[in-house]
A and B are shown apart, each in its own frame.
Chain A
Amino acid sequence: MSLLQVAGISKQFGGLAALTNVSLQVQPGERRAIIGPNGAGKTTLFNVITGELSPNGGMVHFDNRDITALPVHTRANLGLGHTFQRNNLFFGLTVLENVRLAVQHHRGIARQLFRAAVTFEAVTAEAVGLLEEVGLAADKEQIVSTLAYGQQRALEVALALATEPQALLLDEPTAGMSPAETKDMVQLIDALPPSLTVLIVEHDMDVVFTLADRITVLHHGQVVSEGMPGQVRADPTVQEIYLGAESLAA
């Protein structure tokens, strides 16, 4: 039984069809990448799955539940964690406060009104543990806006991980990163527990072929290919899209 099921999703922006009849299924523990040239509809599909956008047609099922009409926060509580393409953090708070916000909700204490947040030591300990995992423990007292871009990117992932999702959706986790930062990020994602389902939208082909078990290729809002990395690489349609796109860009 697949964990995430996208069936016949369509999304229009005005007259523009961003997605047309897109379907895909992701198995538990799978590492799935969604690729495609600019404007293929990758981020639109991502946002439909996370609930940031609602589709014009089709259904999204997660863990045997129809989540098509559910708001973002309910999906998150069902175990669908996601990061953002552009860093979307609590920039005026410290690194530790950022992760504590995620942990305190997940641990069900966010409604506590009359006890200081810092006295919930288990929450702080858990947050520090996560920061060690992503290599930010030394910077935990820094205000997020003063962090380097790559560090903010890592915090982006740490926040999503703090909710202990069943499936982690990553929207271009290495976008705008230097080669060294990209390497760290790939290592971080690669080291995630095998039971965690990961769906990643990505531009960088090296990253995709390092991490993914299966790849879905979008083009003009439609699925044009899907399979193991080797199959997708050998698919003439995919080659044409990418070569065509590159020759257009050149």
Chain B
Amino acid sequence: MIAIQLTNTRAWLEAHQRLVLAAAAITAIAYPFVVKPYILSLGIEVLIFAIFAMSLDLLLGYTGLPSFGHAAFFGLGAYIVAYMTSRNELALGLTDNLLLALPVVLLATALVAVVVGFFALRTSGIYFLMITLAFAQMLFSIAIRWSSVTGGSDGLTGVPRPALGLGGFTYAFESRESFYFLVLGLFLTVWLLLRRIVSSPFGMTLRGIRENEQRMRALGYNTFRYKTAAFALAGMFASVSGLLLAQYFWHAAPQNLYWAMSGQVLIMLVVGGTGTLTGPILGAALMRLLPNFASTYTDRWQTLLGLVLIMFVLFAPKGIVGVLRGGRKQP
């Protein structure tokens, strides 16, 4: 019953696409001015985690690579930008300019991803999962131990909100409202880029690898290279979300690299639905919002989260997206 109703809703949404888009745009623009700061903060977090979850889906949903160490790239984004831009005795404090910091973060994570991928991508399935987990935990322990650079268990504090500087023009995203628009802009950019990528020949190649890697090799594909490219792209997009979180909370923390963070983003995918871009967005929204609302009613909100996860795994293994699609066959 619910599935049928939702399918009808979806049909209505598709029939009135312009109206829906206009409504979404107005909501997104008006949002920071009409809601309470606390709710605005939640919206910013949801968008940041949506970027993180979409980046993992490129690996898990599209290429079939179950990474349990995706927090490594999230944390790298946070720590690199913190080390470059923070004005404290540990960090360099070089620049606030996002146009300088972002390329460095992207390049550095891509390099790390290629090196890690070189080893991890020789394995698959549970072994790939364990290697990526081990790598992320290694970074976590470096962040804890190497306190002269990383700030140890305190992490790096004093990360400034970024500015956009081009020539003589500078705009600083100091306020929460302006930072919201930066996050929204980057979220939309990543979403549009990923939409392009997953429907491109390269994206089809990744799906082919997910479906049957042996056959891809028989067709002449050097699958290792394509998997490395996917791993690097996913790492780069994840680093964008890590960078934004560090800038939002003025802080890069070891928890950004911890396995629980990798687990959290995996749960977002399971709940939202893999192999789509809508799934990770919905999953990120649900898993960030639910604890906040549930914790106002009960102290046992973590139990509730666990139950929600179990329900999804048992009754909706294709996540929210699977429920919305109802009986419809996946294209």
A residues lining the B interface (CB < 8 Å): 50, 52, 71-73, 76-77, 81-82, 84, 88-93, 97, 100-102, 104-106, 109-118, 120, 123, 143, 159-160, 162-163
**In the bound complex, how far is the Cα of B220 from the Cα of A162, in angstroms?**
11
Task: Number of B interface residues at 8 Å Cβ cutoff, please give it.
Answer: 25
Of residues 262 to 301 in B, which have CB atoms within 8 Å of A's CB atoms? Answer: none
B219→A88 contact, CB < 8 A: no
Give 1 or 0 for each of B198-213: 1 = CB within 8 Å of chain A CB: 0111111101100110
A50→B204 contact, CB < 8 A: no
Considering residues A52, A112, A163, which has the most beta carbons from chain B within 10 angstroms of its beta carbon?
Answer: A112
With A72-B217, A76-B217, A90-B211 in contact, do A97 and B204 touch (Cβ < 8 Å)?
yes
The answer to the question of B214 belonging to the interface, with a C-beta cut-off of 8 Å to chain A, is: yes
B200→A114 contact, CB < 8 A: yes
**In the bound complex, how far is the Cα of B206 from the Cα of A130, in angstroms?**
23
**In the bound complex, how far is the Cα of B196 from the Cα of A92, in angstroms?**
21
B212→A91 contact, CB < 8 A: yes
**In the bound complex, how far is the Cα of B204 from the Cα of A77, in angstroms?**
19
Contacts of A88 in B (CB 8 A): 212, 214-215, 218
A123 → chain B closest CB, angstroms: 8
B211→A92 contact, CB < 8 A: yes
**In the bound complex, how far is the Cα of B208 from the Cα of A13, in angstroms?**
31
**Majority-rule SS of B interface residues:** helix
Contacts of B199 in A (CB 8 A): 116-118
**In the bound complex, how far is the Cα of B215 from the Cα of A89, in angstroms?**
7
Of residues 33 to 66 in B, which have CB atoms within 8 Å of A's CB atoms? Answer: none
A94 → chain B closest CB, angstroms: 9
The answer to the question of B222 belonging to the interface, with a C-beta cut-off of 8 Å to chain A, is: yes
The answer to the question of B223 belonging to the interface, with a C-beta cut-off of 8 Å to chain A, is: yes
**In the bound complex, how far is the Cα of B200 from the Cα of A140, in angstroms?**
19
Number of A-B contacts (CB under 8 A): 97
B197→A120 contact, CB < 8 A: no
Contacts of B207 in A (CB 8 A): 90, 93, 97
**In the bound complex, how far is the Cα of B217 from the Cα of A115, in angstroms?**
23
B219→A76 contact, CB < 8 A: yes
Q: Which residue of A lies closest to B196 (CB)?
A: A114
Additional 8 contacts, C-beta under 8 A, given A73-B216, A110-B204? A77-B220, A88-B212, A91-B212, A97-B204, A100-B204, A101-B208, A110-B201, A120-B201
Contacts of A115 in B (CB 8 A): 196, 200-201
Contacts of B205 in A (CB 8 A): 101, 104-105, 110
B211→A102 contact, CB < 8 A: no
**In the bound complex, how far is the Cα of B218 from the Cα of A5, in angstroms?**
20
Q: Which residue of A lies closest to B199 (CB)?
A: A116
A59 → chain B closest CB, angstroms: 21
A130 → chain B closest CB, angstroms: 13
Contacts of B223 in A (CB 8 A): 73
**In the bound complex, how far is the Cα of B221 from the Cα of A102, in angstroms?**
9
A113 → chain B closest CB, angstroms: 5
Contacts of B218 in A (CB 8 A): 50, 72-73, 76, 81-82, 84, 88, 160
